[in-house]
């Protein structure tokens, strides 16, 4: 069968067999082809003329033809120009030169192929891999870039000034340095941003600029962020330069790599059990691929099938005195599982603590062993841990062993319909809903956050077993005796200045937003720039994406992206007001007694088409429902005044949905766990 290159990489670099013969690798679809070619004319050099208003191009003739003109043609419009050739002195007539005036180029994007004309045949001008690329300044902040195309031929590209990487290096410690040229760096400070090709999260890095060059360095296996120092998530990351403070991705400048480096790519290093590979795409576009954190044998459908068979073989064996925790399918060290873990540690129970971590994207504290989601160790822990604490569904093939105790905390009071209650809606998953009673039968106990939720959760999940009505362990933090001290520490960690009002903005996700790389699309309806202008002097806006939503939030002195902050309860401690739409965070935040505003710009669509509600939200909401972004910003000027008419509704809301929380939920869950299945 044909050899294929999957994942849309660039074709391998052109290789010369001898002076006149080259092999050009091509991709036809994803099939690799090799084309052997005879070279009759090769670029001998290029540079500016003495006056600087033209390019002098020298070409070495290798065949018997005698051309008279250098011809350039724009590939898209087919517009062409010809310039006379002259023999270069001292080259026995085999090297010819032409001058191409820079005014030839019209200042709009275009690729001009270079040929020799006037002889018996038109000759394409080849550019050998070792021939330097160069840029020539054009008016209006543009440039003419002279370099080889994917077929190894000279092309003159009329374009905006772009950064070009001229040197890459890895250290043994998987530290990556990129150096290049970018004339515009003289005029403005820039920074490097890595942007994920799928869910579009971003990481930024400092850039050193000098003259027309730049240099940046990063360690892809250890990137600092709100969630701690973590490796880049699995997938492809594209590097860009952007002006410091720029937030519009349309203005980011992709890093291109000079063609002399093409033959040396891809290249990579391993760090922390995963590989990082620097590679080319689309001929000269640089990308950094973060590989899977799983061992090769655990990957793919076949590897996972073997591990499930292993899981079945281990079920029924002697249980370990371990607790396996999972928060949002391994995305965080947070929520009610975290509170249960901390309560067990306080009691000094002596059990071993295992925490499920997805793609190495959650940092766990000392004394906790990280277990990679979908790994052999994870399958083993599911089969043999005496206790399992999770806030999301376990795999549908999981079966609780005799003596195992499974705590399902879930992760929110149901305002919007969930589970089997979604039957008949546009986004109902019939297979998932059908599996729910079987999944729920594996739980030893379901934790209910309030008495309202108990029948709703039973119905939605098809749960007929025990329900522990104790409130949410994650909210114990809001009642902790040292909560003021912790709040001060959180404000300091987030660099929130004293005296500034803190607004927590936490919208939920939408099923009808495009899904990429396992995340739903980011669709912020609150105008952040408008909010900054109105509130920036004395407010800080903390923006927290739902864990299923991708993208990045443009940060500033006013806006902080706290989506990767380990635990939202800590953010609620320091927030003076909450802005949300339909997030279940409202039920937790209500325990603070602080104002809430509801940005319900799509209320009818969400209620009637997308999800639907479990109760009359419009009449029971503990704050104003505001459809317009400008009105939300105006309400934030004085949230107490904006919510004054909703005090009775707020009190009734707390009575209905905060009836169980008193700071002891985690203790009640641990008491029930330690009693075990024989209780």
E strands, 108-211, are 110-117, 123-124, 134-138, 142-148, 154-160, 164-170, 176-181, 190-196, 202-210
- The answer to whether residues 461 and 554 touch, using CB atoms and an 8 Å cutoff, is no
- 397 Cβ partners below 8 Å, 6+ apart? 308, 311
Average pLDDT by stretches of 10, the chain with 679 residues: 84 94 92 95 95 95 88 94 90 89 91 92 93 92 94 96 95 91 86 92 91 93 90 96 89 95 93 93 94 95 97 95 97 96 95 97 96 98 98 96 97 92 84 94 98 96 97 96 94 92 93 69 86 94 88 86 91 97 96 97 87 90 96 96 96 96 97 81
Tracing tokens 């002697």 back to the chain, one arrives at 318
**Paired sense of beta strands 256-257 and 253-254, if any:** unpaired
Q: Residue 677: what pLDDT?
A: 65
**Rounded Cα distance, 413 and 50, in Å:** 75
**Rounded Cα distance, 501 and 499, in Å:** 7
Prediction pTM value: 0.90
Q: Please give the span between the terminal C-alpha atoms of the chain, in angstroms, as a whole number.
A: 62
User: Which tokens sit at 306?
Assistant: 């073997």
Helix, strand, coil shares of the chain as percentages rounded to 5? 25, 35, 40
- The answer to whether residues 216 and 207 touch, using CB atoms and an 8 Å cutoff, is yes
- The answer to whether residues 647 and 641 touch, using CB atoms and an 8 Å cutoff, is no
The region, left, alpha or beta by phi > 0 then psi within -120 to 50, assigned to residue 424 is left
DSSP string, 283-344: TTEEEEEE--SS-GGG-HHHHHHHHHHHHHHHTTSPPEEEEEEESTTTT-S-HHHHHHHHHH
- The answer to whether residues 582 and 416 touch, using CB atoms and an 8 Å cutoff, is yes
Helix and strand tally (H, E) in the chain?
Answer: 15, 42
Judged by DSSP in three states, 644 sits in helix
Tracing tokens 């999800």 back to the chain, one arrives at 611
**How many CB atoms are located within 10 Å of the residue 408 CB?**
26
- Peptide bond before 91: cis, by omega within 30 degrees of 0? no
Q: Residue 7: what pLDDT?
A: 74
**Rounded Cα distance, 156 and 148, in Å:** 9
**Rounded Cα distance, 223 and 244, in Å:** 19
Taking Cα atoms as reference points, which of 459, 452, 446, 447 lies closest to residue 590? 452
**Rounded Cα distance, 542 and 131, in Å:** 51
Q: Residue 300: what pLDDT?
A: 94
Tracing tokens 């902050």 back to the chain, one arrives at 565
Taking Cα atoms as reference points, which of 505, 514, 506 lies closest to residue 535? 505
Judged by DSSP in three states, 479 sits in helix
CA angle 100, 101, 102 (to 5 degrees): 115
Domains with residue ranges and CATH for the chain:
39-160 (2.60.40), 164-290 (2.60.40), 297-473 (3.40.50.11820), 481-657 (3.40.50.12580)
β-sheet bridge partners, residue 506: none
Q: Specify the long-range contacts of residues 88-94, CB closer than 8 Å, at least 24 apart.
A: 88/58, 91/60, 94/60, 94/61, 94/62
For 294-326, b/e burial (b = at least 16 CB within 10 A) is: beeebeeeebeeebeeebeeeeeeebbebbbbb
Q: CA distances (Å), 231 to each of 142, 228, 235, in order?
A: 37, 10, 11
Q: Residue 469: what pLDDT?
A: 98
- 140 Cβ partners below 8 Å, 6+ apart? 107
User: Which tokens sit at 663?
Assistant: 């700071």
> Positive or negative CA dihedral for 473, 475, 478, 479?
negative
Taking Cα atoms as reference points, which of 208, 243, 202 lies closest to residue 226? 202
């Amino acid at each position: 069968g044909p050899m294929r290159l999957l994942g849309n990489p660039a074709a391998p670099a052109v290789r010369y067999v001898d002076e006149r013969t080259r092999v050009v690798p091509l991709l036809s679809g994803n099939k690799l082809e090799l084309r052997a070619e005879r070279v009759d004319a090769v670029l001998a050099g290029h540079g500016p003329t003495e006056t600087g208003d033209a390019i002098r191009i020298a070409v070495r003739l290798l065949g018997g033809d005698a051309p008279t003109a250098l011809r350039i043609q724009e590939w898209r419009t087919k517009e062409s120009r010809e310039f006379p050739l002259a023999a270069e002195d001292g080259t026995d007539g085999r090297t010819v030169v032409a001058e191409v005036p820079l005014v030839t180029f019209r200042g709009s994007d275009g690729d001009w192929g270079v040929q020799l004309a006037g002889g018996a045949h038109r000759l394409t001008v080849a550019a050998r891999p070792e021939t330097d690329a160069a840029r020539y300044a054009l008016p209006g902040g543009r440039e003419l870039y002279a370099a080889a195309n994917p077929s190894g031929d000279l092309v003159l590209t009329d374009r905006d000034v772009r950064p070009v990487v001229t040197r890459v290096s890895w250290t043994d410690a998987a530290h990556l340095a990129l150096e290049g040229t970018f004339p515009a760096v003289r005029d403005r400070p820039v920074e490097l941003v890595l942007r994920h090709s799928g869910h579009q999260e971003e990481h930024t890095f400092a850039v050193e600029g000098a003259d027309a060059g730049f240099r940046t360095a990063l360690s892809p296996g250890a990137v600092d962020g709100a969630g701690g120092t973590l490796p880049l998530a699995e997938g492809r990351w594209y590097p860009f330069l952007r002006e410091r403070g720029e937030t519009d991705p349309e203005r980011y400048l992709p890093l291109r790599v000079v063609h002399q480096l093409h033959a040396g790519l891809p290249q990579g290093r391993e760090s922390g059990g995963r590989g990082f590979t620097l590679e080319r795409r689309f001929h000269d576009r640089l990308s950094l691929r973060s590989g899977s954190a799983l061992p090769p044998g655990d990957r793919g459908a076949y590897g996972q099938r073997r591990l499930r068979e292993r899981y079945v073989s281990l079920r029924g064996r002697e249980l370990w005195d371990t607790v396996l925790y999972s928060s949002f399918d391994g995305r965080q060290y947070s929520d009610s599982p975290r509170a249960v873990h901390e309560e067990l540690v306080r009691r000094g129970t002596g059990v071993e603590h295992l925490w499920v971590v997805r793609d190495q994207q959650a940092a766990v504290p000392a004394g906790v062993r990280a277990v990679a989601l979908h790994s052999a160790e994870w399958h083993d822990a599911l089969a043999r841990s005496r206790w399992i604490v999770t806030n999301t569904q376990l795999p549908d093939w999981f079966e609780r062993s005799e003596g195992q105790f499974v705590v399902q905390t879930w992760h929110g009071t149901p305002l919007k319909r969930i589970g089997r209650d979604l039957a008949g809606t546009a986004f109902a998953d019939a297979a998932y809903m059908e599996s729910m009673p079987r999944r729920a039968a594996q739980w030893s106990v379901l934790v209910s956050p309030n008495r309202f939720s108990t029948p709703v959760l039973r119905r939605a999940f098809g749960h007929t077993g025990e329900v522990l009505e104790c409130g949410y362990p994650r909210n114990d933090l809001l009642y902790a005796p040292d909560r003021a001290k912790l709040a001060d520490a959180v404000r300091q960690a987030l660099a929130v200045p004293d005296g500034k009002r803190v607004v927590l903005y936490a919208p939920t996700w939408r099923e009808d937003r495009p899904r990429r790389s396992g995340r739903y699309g980011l669709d912020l309806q609150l105008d952040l720039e408008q909010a900054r202008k109105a509130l920036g002097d004395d407010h800080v806006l903390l923006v927290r994406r739902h864990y299923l939503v991708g993208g990045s939030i443009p940060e500033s002195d006013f806006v902080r992206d706290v989506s990767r902050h380990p635990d939202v309860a800590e953010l609620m401690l320091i927030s003076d007001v909450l802005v949300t739409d339909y997030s279940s965070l409202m039920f937790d935040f209500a325990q603070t007694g602080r104002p809430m505003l509801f940005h319900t710009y799509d209320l009818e669509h969400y209620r009637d088409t997308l999800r639907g509600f479990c109760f009359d939200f419009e009449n029971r909401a503990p704050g104003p429902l505001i459809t317009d972004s400008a009105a939300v910003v105006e309400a934030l000027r004085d949230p107490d005044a904006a919510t004054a008419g909703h005090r009775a509704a707020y009190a009734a809301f707390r009575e209905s949905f905060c009836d169980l929380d008193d700071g002891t939920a985690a203790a009640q869950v641990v008491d029930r766990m330690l009693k075990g299945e024989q209780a």
